[in-house]
Structure 1
């Protein structure tokens, strides 16, 4: 006797199985699924377990889902906020107007990462200890208050003593002189603006917050009778009232605003890929033994360019590249005797404590590929290419090592700049404390 097989509908599965399956869906797909019946619509709109599962599956390994907002907000609302925050994670570059010469400009490189119940933005700069150390100074914390509103606090001075773990957003007991509440606004997908939230950073001692004119704007009433009429006329004149309001508003804005808006653009391709092994952010010791950051990018026509990141006075787009090449053709090892000689006759620029490591270890330093490059002369003065310019002044090489890193050098120089990763798997490498004399 053959038993009949009765198919099960999705609703026949246990609740935990349903939640597990639904947690793999994108909210837009989940919304379409919710239209199939009233029970699933109610599940989509109100079931905290479902939205917790969605949040936990996507961000549970990166942050503490149940700690956001003190655990008092809906997970559906939390998903929307975290989905927007997720676009912040990674490296961004500051750009905009050059600060006043007297003001020390902040480092241009910013790194956003997940915290237990907040997002942290840190300014990243090379250390001054003649090594590969990177200074990471948190300056921005973004989270959610128990009431559900987004709150962002900025420390303009980047003080190391501010402990993010103590930032209880609901009862933040700091004065506005220490932290400033700001708005973080997306303009497209790769541009954000951080600006002061003037609606909350109000000086309580500032008069005329609603535009009223106080009695002591022009001092006490005059003592002499002949001046009384003119005094009252000035007080009641419509044009004078408008002028006083404009002056007071200007004064109020001057008292309230503590920082100018900052603009950041995302460094989208900040890590290498198999098809683009040189792509991303790197760090290396320069010929003056200082640490610098480099951005290597692939263009749409098949070329590669490398630029320094760190010039405070000009936007990155105006920098001439350190090297560039229109060809992506690597030459595999073993290299010719001439190319071996070009590589072996050059010293590797490294910190003093690594100066003895002249011969690279087999796993890390053996050259696996080589690529021809040119200096920026060819890019700036293209008419000189292949004519009167000495090839040794513009030609160079990239030597890629087995571990994926690479070094570059020009024929005119006797050294190789070996580049290392700034971050791996979302974590900064070689971070040092700012208080260590850096």
Structure 2
């Protein structure tokens, strides 16, 4: 009888050559690597290989997006660079300015901001619809995030978008930005949670330092950097204010002095703090095919941006994301529905007539291109929608709204895009992507407008 031969023992991590071990470790995140390094002195030494391990980790995550060997002029450690890029990774994508833009004189009418990787920096650009260029998207870079050769993280803001050539500068980005520092503004970029970021002027008067908090609430010691004035300074000013109001001998001299200090501070401050919220779901997926940021030509032939979002109970709402100078038209949804059930083609004769009798709104040059490509707008399925008219309070007479004023359709095309229209109108607004695979489409640089 043959004896059972035990299987050979599985090789352990220690049995692999060091090059293989480093390659395996490069697939870990920094927190996992830290836990691994704490298991033994040898592994701790292994995890300190900067060029062999941390370079591979940086290159694996961001090598296709930016030139990692040129950040900080190539003079900083890759472990330090990994920490910096890991913090900023969540910044990439679309953000929407929140708050009252009218209170900020330096606010642009475009509330949409797009952060993207550059060769040696991260660039933030204001994004807005073009006025007379069809589906063109205006892109105006205004914020640049990079690292100095000594490892200091720096952020410069170009409030007026004058220096659009900055993203194309050579390796010495920081030197070039420093030469323009009289025109640019040093700012801090602070995360308050994962999807809320604050951009505020880096004012030495309050001793600000750049703060990027981990996802979640801001720590107590970061209060000064995030909110502006230290608590003890606020309490001191409150005390002095009431003391001067009630003091019998108060002649107002101290109040005048404080007023002069505030006026001086106002002259020095060149940027009002702004808050931005991330648009997380800005692209469609198989389960949510209408989701994301889109652009379309409106009935007045102007281009507008639209954000389509799904709620937690299966409904869909579409709102405009555009010129914040027209606030009343940018709060109510353009269309909404509580059902996401599509009707597949072929459609009924009546539904075919409703679709075929409508004009597709598009720029004149696009009309010529699509004249012989009608298959791009062949509707594969349809969805019933409502307009925002049926969300208003009914009039006092109790007359019901005309269903044709509120009822509409979404027609999804074979290429995945869609158009929508209402029964009261004779046109369809066709949607196109603003960005795809992380890149803006139909971009018009501000200098070319």
Normalised by the length of structure 2, the TM-score is 0.82
Report what 1:140 is aligned to. Answer: 143
Distance 1:7 1:303 in 2: 52
Q: CA 1:435/1:7 → structure 2, altered by over 3 Å: closer, same or farther?
A: closer
Could you tell me how far 1:119 is from its partner in structure 2?
0.4
Matched, 1:285 2:324: no
In structure 1, distance between residues paired with 2:410 and 2:205 = 53
Q: Which digits, 9 at most, give the CA deviation of each residue in 1:261-293, with x for residues without a partner?
A: 111110010000100000000000000000000
1:197 to 199, 202, 208: 202
Query: Aligned to 2:321, which of 309, 320, 341?
Result: 309
Structure 1 residues 86, 4: CA separation in 2 closer, same or farther (over 3 Å shift)?
Answer: closer
How far does the alpha carbon of each residue in 1:66-123 deviate from its partner, in whole angstroms, 9 at most, with x for none? Answer: 1111111121111111111110111001121232598773411100000111100000
Deviations 1:314-348 (A, max 9, x none): 77997100100000010001111110000000000
Describe how 1:254-293 pairs up with structure 2 within 5 A: 254-293=266-305
Q: Tell me the equivalent position of 1:179.
A: 184
Residue 77 of structure 2 corresponds to 74
- Of 93-102 and 144-153, deviating more is 93-102
Taking only aligned residues, the RMSD between alpha carbons, in angstroms, comes to 3.0
Question: Does the alignment pair 1:127 with 2:122?
Answer: no
The answer as to whether partners of 1:137 and 1:160 remain within 8 angstroms in 2 is no
User: What displacement does 1:362 show?
Assistant: 5.8
Q: 1 CA distance for matches of 2:106 and 2:53?
A: 50
Distance in 2 between the 1:321 and 1:25 partners?
Answer: 43
The equivalent residue for 2:118 is 115
Per the alignment, residue 152 of structure 1 pairs with 155
Q: TM-score, normalised by structure 1?
A: 0.84
Q: Does 1:373 align with 2:385?
A: yes
Q: CA deviation at 1:8?
A: 3.6
2:320–2:330 Cα contact (<8 Å) kept: no
Q: Secondary structure at the match of 2:270?
A: coil
SS in 1 for 2:110: coil
Deviations 1:129-169 (A, max 9, x none): 24000111100000111111110000000125442243621
| 1:213 alignment counterpart | none
**Which 5+ residue runs of structure 2 have no aligned equivalent?**
208-249
Secondary structure of the residue aligned to 2:425 is coil
2:338 aligns with one of 319, 326, 330: 326
Match for residue 212 of structure 2?
none
Residue 128 (structure 1) shift: 1.6
2:439 is matched with which residue? Answer: 427
Matches within 5 A, 1:20-419: 20-45=23-48, 47-99=50-102, 105-166=108-169, 168-170=173-175, 172-199=177-204, 246-247=258-259, 249-313=261-325, 319-356=331-368, 361=373, 364-381=376-393, 388-419=400-431
Tell me the distance in 2 between the aligned counterparts of 1:251 and 1:330: 60
Q: Which runs of 5+ in 1 are unaligned?
A: 203-237
Q: Distance in 2 between matches of 1:144 and 1:398?
A: 47
Following superposition, the deviation at residue 353 of structure 1 comes to 1.1
Give the drift of 1:9. Answer: 3.0
Deviation at 1:252, TM superposition (A): 3.6
CA contact (8 A) 2:74 2:149 kept: yes
Q: Deviations over 1:25-56 (max 9, x none)?
A: 12222122112210111222454421111111
Decide whether the 8 Å contact of 1:91 with 1:112 is kept in 2.
yes
CA contact (8 A) 1:372 1:395 kept: yes
What does residue 218 of structure 2 align with? Answer: none
TM-fit CA distance, 1:361 = 2.7
When residues 285 and 160 of structure 1 are mapped into structure 2, their CA distance, relative to the original with a 3 A threshold, is farther
Corresponding pairs, count: 401
Task: Give the Cα separation in 2 of the matches to 1:118 and 1:102.
Answer: 27
**Compared with structure 1, are the counterparts of its residues 161 and 189 closer, same or farther at alpha carbon in structure 2 (3 Å cutoff)?**
closer
The alpha-carbon distance between structure 1 residues 32 and 105, as it changes in their structure 2 partners (threshold 3 A), is: closer
Cα contact 2:106–2:271 (8 A) shared by 1: no
Alpha-carbon separation, structure 2, partners of 1:190 and 1:59: 21
